[in-house]
Amino acid sequence: MNVLKAKEIGIASIIILLCIILTIINPVFLSIDNLLDVIKGNAVLGILAIGMTLVIITGGIDVSVAAVTTAVTVFVGFLMMNLPDNFLSVVIIFIAAPLFGMLLGSINGFFVAKIKIPAIVVTLGTLSIFNGGIIYLTSGQYTNSTNFPQVFMDFSNLDIFGISILVYILFAVALCTGYILKYTTIGRSVFAIGGNQQSAVRVGINQDRVQLFVFAFMGFLAGIAAIVQIAYTKAIDPNGLAGLELTVIAAVVLGGANLMGGRGSIKGTLLGVLLLAITENGLILARIDTFWQRVVVGLIILIAVSYDAIQNKRAERKRSTIEVEDEQEAS
């Protein structure tokens, strides 16, 4: 059994190539510390991209993720102001934040599944509403860690075997989601809806429920991402994640998911996140101006997606003749 599909091997080899180049330019790159920092620094992106993968497999999209995540960070900030400095508080945060995120995600899901509005329209709307609400509640003010309970700071700095807790959280999310996709009927329904919506309904899959699920799950993971974001930045910044939704979608698409639905994998998405993360890190280590980073990331996305589109067209052409070839019946 091959662990990676052809496409994932493609991304993986680009990553390896990139790593070699970056190491030659700046040997610091290949140090374990730097690599772990890269992953830690992109844990939020990774968690959100995992949730987005499910949404995209069903053929949907969620551009409100950054807003939802920010909204949850504000909510967690409010919790921290009011919770005692006690271990239980962290537990409460870990229960309440994902649930709050799930609630916001369910709003998206409700409009997509029940009212049948295209996901892009729904989430553009909620993006605006959530952002507006955040600015109203915080007046756009930045909150730093001086107001955080010590127990949360301890959690943020927790290392196990020298690896940050945030990295473990990312991989736990990846494993659980991968498991849901492969071993539960709802996971398979996600693929079925994206692969052939009409047949999926014909075999009795409840499309509304699947759509509601992917958006709610996206929100749930946004809640976890919000905790990670606060732990990583040690602050609550109402504008800190602005524009992140595009990077999230880019990572998923780079990872081989098809925006038309049906294709996508957690492994691929993680590789997509890694590719974006390494590119960014490498450009920093190579001391290239930050605005070039955006250009390079954009180029990578365009190249990867065009390559994919061309491949698909070729495969399509190979399969297109279905008419009967006329064998004259001599009888």
Partner 1 sequence: MADYILEMMHVSKTFPGVKALDDVYLGIEQGEVHALVGENGAGKSTLIKVLAGVHAPDEGAEIFFEGEPAKIDKPIDATTMGVSVIYQDLSLFPNLSVAENICIGKDGRLPAWSFMNWKKMKRMAEEALDEMDVPIDVNKNVDDLSIAQQQMVEIARAIAFDAKLIVMDEPTSSLSHSEVEKLYNVIDKLKAKGISIIFISHKLKELFKVSDRISVLRDGKYIGSYHMDETTEEKLITLMVGRDVSYERKSRFNQIADEVVLELKQFTKKGNFKNISLQLKKGEILGITGLVGSGRSELAQAIFGLNKPDSGTLHLHGKKAKVRSSNEAMKHGIAYIPEDRKKQGLVLNQPVTNNISLPVLRNMKNPLRLLKKKDERKMADDYVERLDVRPALPDLKAMQLSGGNQQKVVISKWLATEPDILIIDEPTNGIDIGAKTEIHKLLQELADKGIAVIVISSELPEVLAVSDRILVMRQGRVVSEMSGHDASQEKIMNFAFLGSSDKEIS
Q: Give the residues lining the site for partner 1 (CB under 8 A).
A: 182-189, 191-192, 194-196, 198-206, 209-210, 213, 262-263, 321-327, 329
Structure tokens at 171: 């991989």
Tell me the closest approach of the beta carbon of residue 259 to partner 1, in angstroms. Answer: 14
Tell me whether residue 200 or residue 227 sits nearer to partner 1 (CB atom): 200
Task: Report, in Å, the least distance between residue 174 CB and partner 1.
Answer: 19
* 270 vs 253: CA distance, rounded Å: 11
Residue with Cβ nearer partner 1 (206 or 233):
206
Tell me whether residue 67 or residue 200 sits nearer to partner 1 (CB atom).
200
Residue 280 CB: number of other CB atoms within 10 A?
A: 20
Selection from 68, 18, 86 nearest residue 277 by Cα = 18
Q: Which is nearer to partner 1, 214 or 230 (CB)?
A: 214
Structure tokens at 156: 């943020």
**Residue 212 to residue 218: CA distance in whole angstroms:** 10
Tell me the CA end-to-end span of the chain in Å, nearest whole number.
49
Instruction: Return the closest-CA partner of residue 47 out of 212, 194, 228.
Output: 228
Minimum CB distance to partner 1, residue 305 (Å) = 18
263 vs 247: CA distance, rounded Å: 19
Q: How far is the CB of 331 from partner 1 (least distance, A)?
A: 9
By beta-carbon proximity to partner 1, the closer residue of 145 and 206 is: 206
8 A C-beta contact, residue 50 and residue 173: yes
CB of 82 to partner 1, least distance (A): 34
Residue 35 CB, shortest distance to partner 1, in Å, is 33
Q: Write down the least CB distance from residue 194 to partner 1, Å.
A: 7
Q: What would the DSSP string read from start to end of 57-119? A: HTT---TTHHHHHHHHHHHHHHHHHHS-SSHHHHHHHHHHHHHHHHHHHHHHHHHHHTS---H
CB of 204 to partner 1, least distance (A): 4
Indicate the residue among 194 and 238 with the shorter CB distance to partner 1. Answer: 194
Q: Closer CB to partner 1, residue 130 or residue 191?
A: 191
Spatial separation of the C-alpha atoms in residues 107 and 197, rounded to whole Å: 22
Which of residues 136 and 183 has its CB atom nearest to partner 1 in the complex? 183
CA–centroid distance for 229 within its chain: 14
What would the DSSP string read from start to end of 266-287? HHHHHHHHHHHHHHHHHHHHTT
